[in-house]
Amino acid sequence: MTDSCPVCVHRGIAPAAERRHGENVVHGYRCPACGHTWATARHLPAYTPTRRSAA
Ligand SMILES: [Zn+2]
């Protein structure tokens, strides 16, 4: 999942690192244009297109 640099708005940056904490995932990024580093945390179920019903 790519992200945009918050400093220079360089787009389509692939994550350099990924850490999972249960249902959350934190992607670490490093901008190839300006060298800025940052991390974006996401809640995985929000990105799951289908839910399995617990029938
Ligand atoms: Zn940048």
List the domain boundaries for the chain.
1-48
Question: How far, in Å, from the CA of 37 to the mean position of ligand 1?
Answer: 8
Distance 30 CA to ligand 1 centre (A): 8
Residue with the larger pLDDT of the pair 48 and 46: 46
pLDDT confidence bin for 54, thresholds 50/70/90: low
Place of tokens 């389509």: 12
Q: What is the pTM of this model?
A: 0.75
On average, the pLDDT of the chain sits at 89
Considering the domain 1-48, what is its CATH architecture? Single Sheet (2.20)
From CA 32, how far away is CA 4, in angstroms rounded?
11
Ligand 1 centroid vs 31 CA: distance in angstroms?
5
Neighbours of ion ligand 1 (CB under 5 A): 5, 7-8, 10, 31, 33-34, 36
